[in-house]
Homo-oligomer: A and B are copies of this chain.
Amino acid sequence: MIQLPGLIDPHVHVREPGQTHKEDWDTATQSALAGGVTAILAMPNTKPPIFDDATLELALSAARNKARCDYAQFVGAGPDNAEALSALANQSAGLKMYLDSTFGELRLDDMSLWTPHFINFPKHIPIVLHSESRTMAAGILFAAIYDRPIHIAHISLKEEVLLIKAAKERGIKVTCEVAPHHLFLDKDLTGLTPGRLEVRPRLASQADVNALWENLDVIDCFATDHAPHTVAEKDSASPPPGFPGLETMLPLLLNAVNEKRLTLNILIEKMHSNPCRIFNIPEQQETYVEVDENAAWEIRAADLHSRCGWTPFEGWKVKGRVRRVVLRGQIAFEDGKILAQPGYGRNIRA
């Protein structure tokens, strides 16, 4: 049995407000605890998006009532809310900017719209970018020009990890995360319907996957980008992109530790120490995760707590299982059972 600190997932789509048929603050945080995750940072592209005072309160009041693990809520950058968001910064997980193909209130097509956010948002709270390939490079240039930290969400490409490496060596304040599906799956994956394969960033080439593994030292965090959609939605004619991931991240990575693809120290660094530092997350007292590193089991969606009802890792055999999660002195999860109650979770920014 191994004891880990409480894991932090800085990239979770809780789907509440607005799409609670996919997930909500209750089911997302159950999934988190079952996956050894004791704090989640929730993304703002809900319905409505979290982009001002009122919508932030909408998300936080749902979380207050339902969350079973700790949490914070990102606010989303829009074309004209930079000043309003800077006033909300300390109540938020950080500022999320969608720089590739997002619509509605969070659309930021023109780079001129990025500038007020980089100028206004306080430097001690991170800006997280959804930015792929050249857009990522553009985002890093903004970090260099405005001399403030940014965190790149879900990198997936060789060109991305190599450019972040070069930018870090140059002293630019950039950190990044990778999602397990970009470490363990590639675009040649078979056995999933086309709709279930849809994810953004897309699954990449084997060369890209290899480059991520070869440059693991450049990657600061593992993050799920947990993005649940129902089976019916994924198998529909217009499948939305996204995979669930909260409950499978740690087992997949423990399995990789077992396979000597990374060490436990690296796992702890990228799932606890680094996210705590980057996102200014205070240490959760009396919080730890017990895992049986030798338990072999098979991932089955039927056993998971997400409302979405499927996983791209269905049938995968892994070694390493979460046995118990203790959150602030209370057993929150044990042997498959969620013991923390709705509302037990705390807002880490409160």
Interface residues of A (CB under 8 A from B): 110-112, 115, 133-135, 137-138, 140-142, 144-145, 158-159, 162-163, 166-167, 169-170, 172
| Cross-chain contact of A145 among B145, B159, B167 (Cβ < 8 A) | B167
CB distance from A350 to the nearest CB of B (A): 36
User: 16 A-B Cβ contacts within 8 A?
Assistant: A111-B134, A111-B163, A112-B159, A112-B162, A112-B163, A115-B162, A115-B166, A134-B135, A134-B137, A137-B137, A137-B138, A137-B141, A141-B167, A144-B144, A145-B166, A145-B167
CB distance from A228 to the nearest CB of B (A): 30
| Cross-chain contact of A138 among B112, B134, B170 (Cβ < 8 A) | B134
Q: Does B159 lie within 8 Å of A111, measured CB to CB?
A: yes
CB distance from A49 to the nearest CB of B (A): 22
Specify the main secondary structure of chain A where it touches its partner. Answer: helix
Quickly give the copy total for this chain: 2
Q: In the bound complex, what is the Cα–Cα distance between A137 and B158 (angstroms)?
A: 19
Name the B residues within 8 Å of A172 (CB-CB): 144-145
CB distance from A139 to the nearest CB of B (A): 8
Given A138-B138, A144-B144, A145-B167, are A133 and B159 neighbors across the interface (CB < 8 Å)?
Answer: no
Q: In the bound complex, what is the Cα–Cα distance between A158 and B109 (angstroms)?
A: 13
9 smallest beta-carbon distances between A and B, as pairs: A137-B138, A141-B141, A111-B159, A134-B138, A112-B159, A145-B170, A137-B141, A134-B135, A145-B166
Instruction: Given contact pairs A115-B162, A134-B138, A137-B138, enumerate 20 new A-B contacts (beta carbons under 8 Å).
Output: A110-B158, A111-B159, A111-B162, A112-B162, A112-B163, A115-B166, A134-B134, A134-B135, A134-B137, A137-B137, A137-B142, A138-B138, A138-B141, A141-B163, A144-B144, A144-B172, A145-B167, A145-B169, A145-B170, A145-B172
Q: In the bound complex, what is the Cα–Cα distance between A163 and B142 (angstroms)?
A: 9
Name the B residues within 8 Å of A162 (CB-CB): 111-112, 115
| Cross-chain contact of A140 among B141, B163, B166 (Cβ < 8 A) | B141
Q: In the bound complex, what is the Cα–Cα distance between A115 and B163 (angstroms)?
A: 9
Q: In the bound complex, what is the Cα–Cα distance between A112 and B133 (angstroms)?
A: 10
Q: In the bound complex, what is the Cα–Cα distance between A134 and B141 (angstroms)?
A: 10
CB distance from A19 to the nearest CB of B (A): 30
Given A111-B163, A137-B111, A163-B111, are A170 and B144 neighbors across the interface (CB < 8 Å)?
Answer: yes
Q: In the bound complex, what is the Cα–Cα distance between A149 and B140 (angstroms)?
A: 18
Q: In the bound complex, what is the Cα–Cα distance between A135 and B133 (angstroms)?
A: 9
Name the B residues within 8 Å of A111 (CB-CB): 133-134, 137, 159, 162-163
Name the B residues within 8 Å of A158 (CB-CB): 110, 112
Name the B residues within 8 Å of A138 (CB-CB): 134, 137-138, 141
